[in-house]
């Protein structure tokens, strides 16, 4: 029986986020007199202040510990991702501010749901058993269902919501069914027990393989990997833009954190058998994402397909299965965060008047606002992986790790080759967007006014994207520490 | 249930067949039904198939090693039930919004977002 | 267990997994025969006479029905039903806790208090937002029978 202090030492941040969400509800109930439109400013400031406070707290006072409890652990890997999720949440709340006027109600509920999603995500980074994994994952998924359908007046928001709900619920059923078979084959629901049982087996029984495959597929849903990638374009396009940004970074990272924990820690040495499956999924995902993105005419949908392509890269790194590849995934996620948040904030600004995100909205953006055009340039080139930006360093790290791993597993060469071709393809479609920005005539020649706070956020993203390409060492070291704690601490048996 | 009774009972394969049939039925329902409510019911059947598997595996693990096996599989089922209820509530809210805004509960009618 | 006893009497509970299904089969047979028996008995004992519209009409048994019994009812009930389901299912965690809380001590007590506190906050939210209000008078800003914004 774990003590309260032990639980708080691992899940303290989650308690903080939960308490903050409860506080927002209470404040809304007291000040809002039960009406749906409460005082948004108080609630928003409380949410922003609370999340920033927790982020600062996590940097100053939280330290990774090697202790592995039955219910979870706060190793360097978990801490890295908790900070990442808090930063994502902070960005989402900041992105909501210029968008919020379009919500017709539920001003307190929106940040509350964002906070609860963040709580689930942070929980996922340190879970130690399948029960908490399932509960945390569903906390994330169910909150995101609601956030996706947050503009019920907009048919495409509801359509996105209903599609997300159906595919998400099926993925959850796959996950539980898979967990049931893993449980039946190993007799344990905690990661340490499952891992010990797998290592004691000479060969995996068919039931265990079946279960693990279903779990992988169910988690691939969050990541946007084949075969559960079909929700991504529709949901990205239909959801309110801040929610799309949250989904694209946070939900993907939630899938990544769980897949890494499972592949590196639970499967451990047995993961070599799974490199083929992961590599195959990576190849198909890369193809689907990159080829799908070429013909897109909607910016958010386009970024959805690009997100699938990025999921393919992450799966490639998972298939490589080395400490270097784990560390490269951690680095990749941070570069993805800054590039994506910048792109979505630009979309929010350019679609301010018409509420639609067709690519024509960025036509001639360079004339209307050179600053926004530059931000989009940096973001797109970083996503494509072009040298002076952080995305290049991240892609380079993944490919180098995959090439090293390919020495032992020659099949990986094919996937690395495919991914290189796909990088070229992706460069083409990212440049197509930039061509619109710099060489097309704008439909509306008026100068775009940007508020100071929006400018500050965009500037932060740009500085981070360029800065991480030059001064990548501190982040790489931190990512290495995370990867080491993930690889090094194979959980001991019961 | 005692050890002797468990050994003498319905074999594991039969339970797993039941669970597999339920899961397949649910999956077929999700893919073939066009009414959102029926699709959601099919998903619930899939989740219940997983619940059957969890409980049965737990029972057989206890029967095989009566001294040191916890009831964790059955505890998991409590959590899936609670989560499934929350999921159903949210799904129905969105289905209601769909009906109010677009006047349909047919999933084929909501296909404006494509390619 | 009455099933086992009856099986021993029948001499069928010796071995083999299929015997475990015997109670299921018996229940099936019993329910079919019970239903069949009721139909047969009422057919055999009931007096059959001439049927005509006057005889079939409701005579001195209240007013003739005005509309179909299958009415659509207000969507307000859906919200109440949904809220009931959610709060109802959460109680599932109280049962295992009630069995072992003496062994777990104060920690489990406060943990459950926290859990119920969160549930209570949810209830307060529902009440304050007027989701349980049945008054037909629409109130601005409140939820008229559902999450309509």
User: Can you give chain A as a three-state secondary structure string?
Assistant: CCCHHHHHHHHHHHHHHHHHHHHHHHHHHHHCCCCCCCCHHHHHHHHHHHHHHHHHHHHHCCCCCCCEECCEECCHHHHHHHHHHHHHHHHHHHHHCCCHHHCCCCCCHHHHHHHHHHHHHHHHHCECEHHHHHHHHHHHHHHHHHHHCCCCCCHHHHHHHHHHHHHHHHHHHHHHHHHHHHHHHHCCCEHHHHHHHHHHCCCCCHHHHHHHHHHHHHHHHHHCCCCCCCHHHHHHHHCCHHHHHHHHHHHHHHHHHHHHHHHHHHHHHHHHHHHHHHHHHHHHHHHHHHHHHHCCCEHHHHHHHHHHHHHHHHHHHHHHCCHHHHHHHHHHHHHHHHHHHHHHHHHHHHCCCCCCCEHHHHCCHHHHCHHHHHHHHHHHHHHHCCCCCHHHHHHHHHHHHHHHHHCCCCHHHHHHHHHHHHHHHHHHHHHHHHHHHHHCCCCCCCCCCCCHHHHHHHHHHHHHHHHHHHCCHHHHHHHHHHHHHHHHCCCCCC
Q: What is the mean pLDDT of residues C120-135?
A: 84
Residue A202: predicted pLDDT: 81
- Side-chain-side CA neighbours of B81 within 13 Å: the count stands at 18
Residue A489: predicted pLDDT: 56
Write the residue in C121, C141, C148 that is nearest to A22 by C-beta.
Answer: C121
Q: Which of A84, A70, A173 is nearest to A125 (CA)?
A: A84
**Number of Cβ within a 10 Å radius of residue A77:** 29
- CB spacing of A36 vs C128 below 8 angstroms: no
Q: Which of A362, A351, A274, A287 is nearest to A320 (CA)?
A: A274
pLDDT digits (tens, 9 = 90+) for A193-231: 899 899 888 888 899 999 999 999 899 888 888 888 889
pLDDT value at B7 more than 70: no
Shortest distance between the Cα of A105 and any Cα of chain C, in A, equals: 6
CB contacts < 8 Å between A and C, how many?
34
**pLDDT category of residue A493 using cuts at 50, 70 and 90:** very low
Write the residue in A1, A29, A152 that is nearest to C124 by C-beta.
Answer: A29
Write the residue in A18, A25, A37 that is nearest to C141 by C-beta.
Answer: A37
Residue C60: predicted pLDDT: 65
pLDDT value at C14 more than 60: no
Q: What is the mean pLDDT of residues A320-328?
A: 91
Instruction: Return mean pLDDT, chain A.
Output: 89
Return d(Cα A238, Cα B25) in angstroms, integer. Answer: 30
Q: Which residue has the higher pLDDT, C124 or A489?
A: C124
Which partners does chain B have (≥3 C-beta pairs < 8 Å)?
A, C
Residues of B in contact with A152 (CB under 8 A): 97, 100-101
Q: What is the mean pLDDT of residues A249-275?
A: 88
Write the residue in C75, C78, C92 that is nearest to B81 by C-beta.
Answer: C92
Q: Which of A48-52, A392-396, C20-24, C53-57 has the lowest mean pLDDT?
A: C53-57
Write the residue in A1, A34, A36 that is nearest to C149 by C-beta.
Answer: A36
Shortest distance between the Cα of B27 and any Cα of chain C, in A, equals: 24
**Number of Cβ within a 10 Å radius of residue B7:** 12
- Side-chain-side CA neighbours of A201 within 13 Å: the count stands at 19
- CB spacing of C93 vs B78 below 8 angstroms: yes
Q: Which residue has the higher pLDDT, A445 or A128?
A: A128
| Cβ atoms of residues B36 and B94 within 8 Å | no
Q: Search chain B and give the residue with CA nearest A153.
A: B101
Q: Which residue has the higher pLDDT, C119 or B65?
A: C119
Residue A494: predicted pLDDT: 36
A:273-292 residues touching chain B, CB 8 A cutoff = none
Shortest distance between the Cα of B55 and any Cα of chain A, in A, equals: 9
pLDDT digits (tens, 9 = 90+) for A164-184: 999 999 999 999 999 999 999
Residues A421, A258, B46, CA angle at the centre, nearest 5°? Answer: 100
Shortest distance between the Cα of B82 and any Cα of chain C, in A, equals: 6
Shortest distance between the Cα of A104 and any Cα of chain C, in A, equals: 6
**pLDDT category of residue C4 using cuts at 50, 70 and 90:** very low
Shortest distance between the Cα of C21 and any Cα of chain B, in A, equals: 8
Residues of C in contact with B100 (CB under 8 A): 148
Domain B3-109 is in which class? mainly alpha
Q: Is residue A189 less than 8 Å (CB to CB) from chain B? A: yes
Residues of C in contact with B94 (CB under 8 A): none
Q: What is the token pair recorded at A117?
A: 């999603």
Percent of residues, chain B, with pLDDT higher than 70? 87
Residues of A in contact with B114 (CB under 8 A): 234
- CB spacing of C142 vs A1 below 8 angstroms: no
Q: What is the mean pLDDT of residues A366-394?
A: 92
Which partners does chain A have (≥3 C-beta pairs < 8 Å)?
B, C
Q: Search chain C and give the residue with CA nearest A2.
A: C107
Return d(Cα C38, Cα C20) in angstroms, integer. Answer: 29
For chain B, domain boundaries:
3-109
Residue A267: predicted pLDDT: 86
| Cβ atoms of residues A379 and A418 within 8 Å | no
- CB spacing of A131 vs B26 below 8 angstroms: no
Interface residues of chain A, partner chain C, Cβ below 8 Å = 1, 3-4, 18, 22, 25-26, 29, 34-37, 104-106, 152-153
Give the three-state DSSP class for C19.
Answer: helix
Residues in chain B: 115
The interaxial angle of helices A109-125 and A130-148, nearest 10 deg, is 150
Write the residue in C104, C121, C149 that is nearest to A105 by C-beta.
Answer: C149
- CB spacing of B113 vs A158 below 8 angstroms: no
Residue A28: predicted pLDDT: 84
| Widest Cα–Cα separation across chain A | 69
Shortest distance between the Cα of C141 and any Cα of chain A, in A, equals: 5
Residue A33: predicted pLDDT: 58
pLDDT digits (tens, 9 = 90+) for A238-248: 999 999 999 99
For chain A, domain boundaries:
4-488
Instruction: Return mean pLDDT, chain C.
Output: 75
**pLDDT category of residue B66 using cuts at 50, 70 and 90:** low
Give the three-state DSSP class for B108.
Answer: helix
- CB spacing of C149 vs A153 below 8 angstroms: yes
- CB spacing of C82 vs B92 below 8 angstroms: yes
Q: What is the mean pLDDT of residues C23-44?
A: 93
Q: What is the mean pLDDT of residues A9-29?
A: 92
**pLDDT category of residue C5 using cuts at 50, 70 and 90:** very low
Return d(Cα A290, Cα A282) in angstroms, integer. Answer: 12
- CB spacing of A3 vs C107 below 8 angstroms: yes
Residue B79: predicted pLDDT: 94
Q: Which residue has the higher pLDDT, B77 or C67?
A: B77
């Amino acid at each position: 029986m774990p003590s309260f202090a032990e639980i708080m030492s691992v899940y303290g941040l989650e308690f903080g986020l939960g308490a903050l969400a409860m506080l927002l509800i209470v404040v809304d109930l007291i000040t809002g007199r039960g009406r749906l439109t409460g005082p948004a400013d108080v609630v928003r400031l409380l949410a922003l202040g609370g999340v920033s406070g927790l982020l600062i707290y996590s940097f100053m006072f939280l330290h990774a510990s090697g202790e592995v409890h039955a219910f979870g652990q706060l190793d360097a890997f978990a801490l890295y991702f908790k900070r990442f999720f808090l930063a994502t949440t902070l960005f989402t709340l900041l992105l909501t501010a210029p968008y919020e006027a379009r919500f017709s109600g539920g001003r307190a509920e929106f940040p509350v749901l964002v906070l609860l999603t963040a709580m689930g995500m942070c929980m996922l980074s340190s879970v130690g058993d399948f029960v908490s994994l399932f509960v945390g994952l569903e906390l994330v998924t169910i909150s995101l269902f609601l956030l996706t359908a947050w503009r019920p007046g907009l048919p495409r928001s509801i359509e996105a919501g209903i599609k997300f709900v159906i595919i998400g619920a099926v993925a959850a059923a796959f996950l539980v069914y898979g967990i049931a078979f893993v449980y039946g084959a190993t007799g344990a629901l905690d990661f340490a027990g499952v891992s010990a049982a797998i290592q004691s087996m000479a060969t995996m029984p068919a039931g265990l393989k079946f279960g693990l495959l279903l779990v992988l597929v169910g988690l691939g849903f969050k990541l946007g990997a084949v075969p559960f990638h079909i929700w991504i374009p529709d949901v990205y396009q239909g959801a309110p833009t801040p929610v799309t940004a949250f989904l694209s970074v946070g939900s993907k990272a939630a899938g990544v954190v769980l897949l890494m924990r499972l592949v590196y820690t639970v499967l451990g040495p047995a993961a070599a058998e799974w490199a083929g499956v992961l590599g195959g999924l990576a190849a198909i995902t890369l193809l689907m994402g990159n080829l799908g993105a070429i013909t897109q005419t909607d910016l958010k949908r386009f970024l959805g397909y690009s997100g699938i392509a990025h999921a393919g890269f992450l799966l490639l790194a998972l298939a490589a299965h080395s400490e270097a590849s784990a560390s490269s995934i951690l680095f990749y996620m941070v570069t993805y965060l800054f590039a994506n948040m910048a792109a979505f904030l630009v979309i929010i600004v350019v679609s301010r008047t018409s509420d639609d995100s067709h690519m024509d909205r960025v036509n001639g953006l360079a004339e209307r606002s050179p600053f926004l055009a530059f931000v989009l340039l940096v973001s797109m080139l970083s996503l494509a992986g072009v040298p002076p930006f952080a995305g290049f360093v991240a892609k380079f790290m993944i490919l180098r790790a995959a090439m090293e791993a390919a020495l032992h597993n020659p099949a990986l060469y094919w996937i690395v080759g495919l991914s290189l071709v796909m990088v070229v393809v992706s460069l083409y479609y990212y440049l197509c967007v930039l061509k619109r920005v710099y060489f097309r005539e704008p439909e509306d020649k008026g100068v775009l006014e940007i508020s100071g706070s929006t400018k500050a956020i965009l500037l932060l993203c740009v500085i981070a994207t360029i800065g991480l390409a030059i001064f990548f060492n501190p982040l790489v070291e931190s990512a290495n520490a995370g990867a080491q704690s993930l690889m090094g601490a194979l959980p001991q048996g019961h | 249930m005692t050890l002797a009774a468990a050994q003498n009972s319905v074999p594991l394969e039969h339970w797993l067949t039941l669970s597999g049939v339920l899961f397949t039925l649910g999956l077929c329902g999700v893919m073939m039904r066009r009414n959102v409510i029926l699709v959601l019911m099919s998903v619930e059947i899939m989740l219940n198939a997983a619940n059957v598997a969890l409980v049965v595996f737990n029972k057989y693990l206890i029967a095989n090693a009566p001294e040191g096996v916890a009831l964790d599989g059955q505890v998991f089922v409590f959590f899936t039930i609670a989560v499934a209820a929350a999921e159903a509530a949210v799904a129905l809210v969105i289905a209601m919004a769909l009906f109010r805004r677009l006047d349909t509960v047919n999933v084929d009618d909501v296909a404006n977002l494509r390619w | 267990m009455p099933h086992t006893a009856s099986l021993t009497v029948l001499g069928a509970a010796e071995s083999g997994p299929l015997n475990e299904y015997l109670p299921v089969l018996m229940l099936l047979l019993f329910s079919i025969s019970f239903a069949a028996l009721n139909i047969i008995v009422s057919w055999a004992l009931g007096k059959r006479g001439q049927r005509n519209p006057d005889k079939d009409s409701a005579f001195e048994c209240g007013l003739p029905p005005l509309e179909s019994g299958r009415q659509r009812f207000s969507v307000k009930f859906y919200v109440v039903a949904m809220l009931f389901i959610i709060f109802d299912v959460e109680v599932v965690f109280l049962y295992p806790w009630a069995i072992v809380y003496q062994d777990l001590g104060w920690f489990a007590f406060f943990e459950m208090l926290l859990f119920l506190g969160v549930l209570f906050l949810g209830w307060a939210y529902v009440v304050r937002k007027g989701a349980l209000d049945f008054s037909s008078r629409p109130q601005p800003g409140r939820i008229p029978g559902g999450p309509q914004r």
